[in-house]
Structure 1
Amino acid sequence: MMRLKYIWILVLALFFTLPIDAQCAMCRAVLESEEGQQTAKGINNGIVYLMIIPYILIGTVGYFIYRNKKKAS
């Protein structure tokens, strides 16, 4: 029952995230001078994409460690 609760919390957290800006101040200053802002959006999406990969990897490893410890006991 608790496992289902954690799955729902994870699903809600993934679906109801707020848009974030991941640019540093210097990158933002350079990219804001552009007319269409398409490059700034692309850079921001790339930064967020690169930032999320380590969290997914660590979460996956943590899940497998948890599952193996739970199986052993």
Structure 2
Amino acid sequence: MKLKLGLWVVFFFGFQIATWAQCAMCRASVENNVSNGDTTIGAGLNTGILYLFAMPYLIALVIGLLWYRAAKKRKSKVAIR
């Protein structure tokens, strides 16, 4: 179990570095496109930002629900004994 948790932590934090690296590239691309008169990429970028903004909250919600269900199941097993 500890190995599995450790692998998830490494996986989660390892890929965050790659996503942070893309922010400057996206901003430079949008600035370049806007300076050339193409403003259509901005709408897609805003949707992507909202998607990235919501993900940590969804992950926290899923972890909280799993924790709640496990605690509820554990409590019912103790009550039966």
Query: TM-score if structure 2 supplies the norm length?
Result: 0.51
How many residues of Structure 1 are paired with residues of Structure 2 in the alignment?
A: 62
- The unaligned stretches of length 5 or more in structure 2 are 37-41, 75-81
Give the percent of matched residue pairs that are identical in Structure 1 and Structure 2. 4
Match of 2:59 in 1: 59
- The unaligned stretches of length 5 or more in structure 1 are 22-27, 36-42
Match of 1:12 in 2: 14
* Superposed displacement of residue 50, structure 1: 2.0
Match of 2:5 in 1: 3
Higher RCO (CA < 8 A, seq sep 6+): 1
State the Cα deviation string for residues 16-61 of structure 1 (Å, max 9, x = none). Answer: 236275xxxxxx7xx72516xxxxxxx54x5543221221111110
Match of 1:32 in 2: 33
Moved over 4 A (4+): none
> Greater Rg, structure 1 or structure 2?
2
Query: TM-score if structure 1 supplies the norm length?
Result: 0.55
